[in-house]
């Protein structure tokens, strides 16, 4: 097992000084070194927790979660991350259909941030809104700090927006790093990010977009597969292409699930709504046209039905590399014969991968804590050195 | 007043090593020594708080509360217990009518437990479900720990299930121990656990079942009284009979409230629903038959009305030992002329016992904290010795 | 910048010994020295936070918030204050329309206070109820402490009642003290507390009442302005008159917004409902007459409309002292063309004062923390001396 010195040495090799006092909003805004710093700090925090060493860097302070819809998993991951560092969580639940504008955002941002060291925002429902909201929030709290309203600048962590889902995809990637024994071993591995059938509607685009935007950084062969009509934001495809070029990997698209699965090392079959439909929905919400939304939902469910054959079956899994690709999902999945009649994945496939899937999810609290820590602590290597040399026990024993 | 040494010596006499890393689900699964360990640790924690000595054994960590229905009292007791030990509470509110199955439980259990040191579950509404849910939850988090998903095993504390309500009955018993000046003085005392009239419907069985299952351990003369048709789970009556035999007490049943009250040292008059009705209701919920549930409710309220004379009146209280039996209730009570027109207890009786009733309730946070501590700390005697010799103040003064 | 010694010396000059173990319910129940102690401690806490010095005086403990209606701002201020001192917040949300009586209050008060060091109550909706509720709550927890039910006496902090809003007005006043460079400079300053038009209904009276009850303590010229029919509680006007006499200031009333603004140093234009209407509403709620409440609402909105000219415009602002009065508001404001078509204040006026308005709001967490601290710590001067000489960092750096 790796000791604390391993992690400290690793950190010293990386240049991540720009993360200090900065937000984490999109993975493609970060350098490769910065991404590796997130993984290294996450691993260190997990290691120290296993060793019963406290990693509280705050004696008091608040972590604010601001969700536009309910989310048990993300909420618990964020709460766990905050608690690990010594922050108490306060939840702000804004109405689902309420899209805040300009000055209202400025007021909310200041009013809830008096003692906030971090604000985690999940706003994934409206195309063109969520990411903007996070950036505005960040701008306004920085201004609040300059104006002497806030004693500290709260770090913004994107807990899922309309564009990216960095805490999910970074946890996914850390899972891959451990699964394949090192980040360098990911080079040349084929990952299939494919659409899959779901009996439900309107799942966000942030996961497929985030996955192709991140995995192409690692020199992987990234394939995006979906039926015609299920296009994602084209900007992100452009980013993925550029990433692939720079990292020595590839980014390809196909309308065949079979093609994507063929010889894949990793498969990530997951439903999402077409980008144009999400845009349309955002428009309808803006107009308060609930009848239009109902009709759109019916249309989309019918459209989904046309592609009911897009399921991750045993047959498809058999066509992957040695029939043993790593199956991934951000959870919860639509599992055939378990959570629905027909869904994204066959029950037998899902059950076989349950343990690695939960392990995948278990990285998220550490990833979030790492993002916070790197924004708050100038020299994490020094921090870990001190914390481990004169450790406080997390739990009395 | 007893000092810390008293408690430490007491602990050293008891064998409770099996509580370490274990759950607290049913009182009759615990040995007499283990029950006494819970009381001793609870008293110690209360003593130390009175002395302004911090009993934080966690520097960080989460306590998860998972309630199937709203409960202010239990929620605050659990939150108080967690806070006393240094854990931050996160509430997970599942829908009332949603009965989770197999793999869903496994997923939830793992997803919310990444940093959970304790999970308190209250699931008392469906016969045959609540206790099973707790046990499944426990099984799945242990598996999650083995699989490297969870860094720690969260302790499960039963905050009320369809079978038992151990945090309530243990608090009740600790109240009795203090009231009668010692656990040994309970031998031979008569306690009447009796049904009482309520204008409301569907109160759980866990309190009467828990009381007869626990008090029979203490060599008490336990009487269970209810109108015909208000039977509880027969298994628990069997357990109570066996307990009584072993402890040198008695367990008897009657359909007369008068007989139960006669010369009683303690009375516990409280409404509950018939076991068969609760079984029926669970079935109807399973079928989503809301009309059937409405009809069942009407039936049960009418059935209750037939026994409106089952009230804890001054006349009945006069028939108890010297007219001065200790009146108990788990709160909130249906109080005649105070919270309803006719209810479980006369206003004058209830008011006379208000202070002891609140004292009774005040043991619950300490009982819960004790259950957690005994699962987390291998040698509590050593812990208390160290905490008291080099005390951290809970509150600066 | 002022150092810690400045604050410690200031505290030593003040007599606030009666605040120890006491509640904060109405500002006019406190002496001038006691008010100054609150400001001094608030400033000290803010200073220490800026210096990254931890002010946790609790190692564990709960702060309970009890709100009768949703309030993001007050909730976050209270949570921030508790967190700053080391208390974990637990929220109790009682139903809006549920008015608790006598023994029910006693039971709730005890049941949620087992580990409560402070209880913050906001109950502003029903005339004649909110303040009484807070006082009853206080009485019952003190009794609970005497009876051995509660290990500690929770301090009651009035987070807004039907009579006063002390945490708001004290934050407002601290803002003025800083704005005008010292409490003594407030003498002779003219402050206009005036009604303003709002398209919404039923805003509480506690702010205007609290402002005239507090600012008249400072030797200011306090003017209360509103249209006929928008009278506040006459008792409070009496208190304001007496205060003015004692402090060497004035308290005058007018039905002209223009008169109030003329040469004012500070303006506080804000909507509220007529006292008699609020009394009527309380009555209707008591009778469960929802139809009557709907009718009353329509009436009141029509009555508001008659005074749509009561708006804080640029023209009116120009008539204030040098055209530069400090504009204040407790937020959120009804801002013309921003949050509504016509409201309390012109968009251009509001926008010009955004930064000072947010600064004004930012004092509230410190004011609340100060009220708690003064009730819990016998010698705050000694506390601050010790905390600053041997500081614990709030955040690792």
Q: What is the DSSP string of C181-223?
A: TSGGGGTT-EEEEEE---SS----SHHHHHHHHHHGGGT-EEE
Q: What is the mean pLDDT of residues A230-242?
A: 97
Task: Identify the closest residue of chain A to B102 by CA–CA distance.
Answer: A338
Q: Nearest 10 degrees: CA dihedral of B197, B202, B204, B207?
A: 0
Question: What is the structure's pLDDT at B98?
Answer: 46
Give the one of A107, A108, A115 whose C-beta lies nearest to C83's C-beta. Answer: A115
Q: Is A328 helix (H, G, I), strand (E, B) or coil?
A: coil
Average pLDDT, chain B: 95
Encoded tokens for B29? 């699964």
Question: Going by C-beta distance under 8 Å and a sequence separation of 6 or more, which residues neighbour residue B359?
Answer: B175, C147, C148, C149
Report chain A residues whose CB lies below 8 A from the CB of B112.
72-73, 76
How many Å apart are CA B297 and CA C345, to the nearest integer?
Answer: 55
CB contact under 8 A, B149 and A88: no
Nearest-CA distance from A43 to chain B in Å?
A: 13
Token pair for A271: 């439903």
Supply the pLDDT for residue A98: 46
DSSP string, C377-396: -S-HHHHHHHHHHSPPBSB-
- CA C364 vs CA B127, B243, B259, C241, C397: distances in Å: 49, 58, 61, 26, 27
- The span from the CA of A73 to the CA of B92, in Å, is 10
CATH class given for the domain over B4-164+364-389 = alpha beta
Residue B275, pLDDT above cutoff 90: yes
- Say yes or no for a CB contact (<8 Å) between C395 and A61: yes
- Say if C119 is an interface residue toward chain A (CB within 8 Å): no
Query: How close is the nearest chain A Cα to the Cα of B281, in Å?
Result: 25
Q: Is A207 on the interface with C (CB under 8 A)?
A: no
Run of H or E residues at A293: helix A290-305
* pLDDT band of A202, cuts 50, 70, 90: confident
What pLDDT shows up at residue C1? 60
Confidence (pLDDT) at B100:
52
Highest CATH level, class, for A168-361: alpha beta
Chain B residues in contact with A73 by the CB 8 A cut-off are 111-112
Picking from A179, A363, A358, A191, the residue whose alpha carbon sits closest to that of residue A270 is A191
Cβ atoms of B85 and B373 within 8 Å: the answer is yes
Which value, in Å, is the radius of gyration of the alpha carbons in chain B?
21
Q: Say if residues A144 and A112 touch (Cβ distance below 8 Å).
A: no
Asked if the Cβ–Cβ distance from A395 to B117 is below 8 Å, we say yes
Of C339, C355, C361, the CB nearest to A111: C361
Q: Which two tokens stand for residue A36?
A: 């590796």
Interface test with B, best of A47, A48, A54, A76 (most B CBs within 10 A): A76
Residue among C61, C149, C151 whose CB faces B83 most closely: C61
Hey, what long-range contacts does C50-54 have (CB within 8 A, 24 or more apart)? C50/A151, C51/C391, C52/C393, C52/C394, C52/C395, C52/C397, C53/C387, C53/C388, C53/C391, C53/C392, C53/C393, C53/C394, C54/A59, C54/A60, C54/C387, C54/C391, C54/C392, C54/C393, C54/C394
Chain B, window 44-73: residues with a beta carbon less than 8 angstroms from a chain A beta carbon: 57-62
Beta bridge partners of B24: B157
Residue C98 predicted with pLDDT over 50 = no
The confidence band for A99, taking pLDDT boundaries of 50, 70 and 90, is very low
* Tens-place pLDDT, residues B303-331: 999 999 999 999 999 999 999 999 999 99
Q: Does B97 score more than 60 pLDDT?
A: no
Smallest Cα distance from B1 to chain A, Å: 28
pLDDT tens-digit readout, B73-93: 889 999 999 999 999 999 987
Which pLDDT score, from 0 to 100, does residue C102 have? 59
Are A381 and A44 contacting, i.e. CB atoms less than 8 angstroms apart? no
CB contact under 8 A, C377 and B396: yes
Task: Concatenate the DSSP letters of all residues of B266-335 into one string.
Answer: EEEEE----HHHHHHHHHHHHHT-HHHHHHHHHHHHHHHHTTTT--B-HHHHHTSGGG-PEE---S---B
The whole-chain average pLDDT of chain A stands at: 95
Beta bridge partners of A253: A224
Question: What residue in C sits closest to A110 (Cα-Cα)?
Answer: C358
The minimum CA-CA distance between C243 and chain A, rounded to whole Å, is 32
pLDDT exceeds cutoff 70 at B101 = no
Q: For testing the chain B interface, which of A332, A365, A395 should be mutated: the one with the most B CBs within 10 Å?
A: A395
Name the residue of chain A whose CA is nearest to C73's CA: A111
- How far is Cα A183 from Cα B372, in angstroms, rounded to an integer? 40
- Please state, in angstroms and as integers, the Cα–Cα distance from residue B17 to each residue in A49, B56, C368, following that order: 25, 21, 46
B211 touches chain A (CB under 8 A): no
Q: Which residues of C touch B354 (CB under 8 A)?
A: 103, 106
Note whether A88 contacts B88, CB cutoff 8 Å: yes
Q: Do A151 and C49 touch (CB under 8 A)?
A: yes
Strand partners, B395: C58
Do the chains contact at C114 and B80, CB–CB below 8 Å? Answer: yes
Residue B96's pLDDT band, with cuts at 50, 70 and 90, is very low
DSSP classification of residue A70 = -
CB contact under 8 A, B396 and C147: no
**Under a CB-based contact definition with an 8 Å cutoff, are residues C117 and C87 in contact?**
yes
- What the block records as the tokens of A145 is 């700090």
Cβ within 8 Å of B, A 328-387: 331-332, 338-339, 351, 354-355, 358-359, 361-362, 364-365
Question: Cβ(A150)–Cβ(C46) under 8 Å?
Answer: no
Distance CA B182, CA C342 (A): 71
| Nearby residues of C170 by Cβ (< 8 Å), 6 or more positions away | C27, C35, C38, C39, C214, C363, C367, C371
Q: Residues near A222 by Cβ (< 8 Å), separated by ≥ 6?
A: A191, A193, A211, A212, A215, A216, A240, A244, A249, A250, A251, A252
Percentage of the residues of chain B whose pLDDT score is greater than 70: 97
Query: Given pLDDT bands bounded at 50, 70 and 90, which one contains residue C96?
Result: very low
Q: Where are the domains of chain C?
A: 4-164+364-389, 168-361
CB–CB contact A147 C394 (8 Å): no
Q: Is B194 helix (H, G, I), strand (E, B) or coil?
A: strand
The two domains B4-164+364-389 and B168-361 share their CATH topology (first three levels equal): yes
Q: Sign (positive/negative) of CA torsion C110, C114, C117, C118?
A: negative
Beta bridge partners of residue B116, listed in sequence order: B62
**Pairwise CA distance, residues B150 & B154, whole Å:** 9
| Contact check, Cβ <8 Å, A59/C393 | yes
> What pLDDT shows up at residue A1?
60
A241 touches chain C (CB under 8 A): no
- Reported as a single tens digit per residue, the pLDDT across C330-342 is 999 999 999 999 9
Contact between A37 and A92 (Cβ < 8 Å)? no
C20 inside 8 A of chain B by CB: no
Please write the tens of the pLDDT for every residue from B320-360.
999 999 999 999 999 999 999 999 999 999 999 999 999 99
Instruction: Copy the structure tokens of residue C71.
Output: 């309030």
With left for phi above 0 and alpha for psi between -120 and 50, is residue B322 left, alpha or beta? left
Whether residue A76 and residue B112 make contact (CB cut-off 8 A), yes or no, is yes
Nearest beta carbon to residue B149 from set A72, A351, A362: A362
Element spanning B7, H or E? helix B4-13
- Identify from B21, B45, B60 which residue to disrupt to test chain A contact, counting A C-beta atoms within 10 A and taking the largest count: B60
Query: What is the full DSSP assignment across A148-206?
Result: TS-SSPPEEEEEEESS--HHHHHHHHHHHHHHTTSGGGGTT-EEEEEE---SS----SH
**Which positions ≥6 away from A47 have C-beta within 8 Å?**
A2, A4, A7
Q: Using CA atoms, how far apart are residues A226 and A244, in angstroms rounded to an integer?
A: 20
Query: For A41-53, what is each residue's pLDDT tens digit?
Result: 999 999 999 999 9
Average pLDDT over residues A198-205: 90
Asked whether residue C186 carries a pLDDT value surpassing 80, the answer given is yes
Residue pair C195/C230 in contact by the 8 Å Cβ criterion: yes
Give the strand pairing for C116-123 and C155-161: parallel
Contact at CB, C59 and B338, closer than 8 angstroms: no
pLDDT tens digits, one per residue of A276-318: 999 999 899 889 999 999 999 999 999 999 999 999 999 999 9
Query: Rounded to whole angstroms, how far apart are CA atoms C223 and C206?
Result: 16
């Amino acid at each position: 097992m790796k000791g604390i010195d391993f992690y400290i040495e690793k950190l010293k090799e990386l240049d991540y000084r720009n993360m200090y006092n900065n937000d984490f909003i999109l993975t493609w805004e970060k350098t490769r070194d910065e991404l590796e710093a997130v993984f290294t700090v996450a691993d260190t925090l997990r290691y120290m927790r296993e060793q019963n060493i406290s990693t509280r860097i705050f004696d008091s302070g608040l972590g604010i979660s601001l969700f536009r819809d309910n989310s048990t998993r993300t909420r618990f991951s964020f709460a766990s991350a905050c608690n690990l560092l010594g922050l108490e969580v306060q939840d702000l639940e804004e109405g689902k259909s309420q899209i805040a504008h300009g000055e209202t955002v400025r007021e909310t941002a200041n009013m809830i941030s008096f003692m906030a060291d971090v604000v985690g925002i999940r706003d994934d429902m409206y195309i063109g809104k969520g990411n903007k909201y996070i950036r505005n929030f960040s701008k306004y709290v920085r201004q609040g700090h300059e104006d002497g309203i806030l004693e500290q600048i709260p770090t913004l962590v994107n807990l899922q927006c309309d564009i990216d889902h960095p805490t999910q995809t970074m946890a996914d990637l850390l899972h891959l790093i451990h699964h394949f024994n090192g980040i360098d071993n990911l080079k040349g591995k084929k990952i299939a990010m494919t659409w899959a059938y779901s009996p439900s509607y309107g799942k966000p685009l942030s996961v497929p977009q985030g996955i192709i935007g991140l995995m192409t950084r690692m020199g992987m062969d990234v394939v995006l597969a979906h039926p015609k009509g299920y296009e994602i934001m084209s900007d992100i495809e452009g980013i993925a292409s550029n990433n692939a070029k720079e990292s020595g990997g590839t980014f390809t698209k196909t309308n065949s699930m079979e093609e994507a699965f063929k010889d894949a090392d990793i498969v990530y079959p997951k439903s999402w709504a077409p980008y144009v439909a999400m845009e349309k929905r955002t428009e309808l919400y803006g107009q308060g046209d609930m009848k239009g939304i109902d009709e759109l939902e019916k249309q989309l469910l019918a459209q989904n039905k046309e592609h009911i054959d897009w399921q991750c079956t045993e047959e498809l899994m058999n066509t992957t590399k040695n029939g043993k690709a790593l199956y991934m999902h951000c959870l919860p999945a639509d599992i055939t014969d378990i959570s629905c009649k027909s869904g994204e994945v066959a029950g037998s496939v899902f059950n076989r991968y349950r343990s690695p899937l939960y392990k995948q999810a278990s990285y998220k609290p550490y990833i979030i804590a790492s993002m916070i820590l790197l924004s708050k602590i100038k020299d994490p290597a020094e921090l870990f050195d001190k914390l481990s040399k004169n450790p406080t026990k997390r739990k009395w024993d």
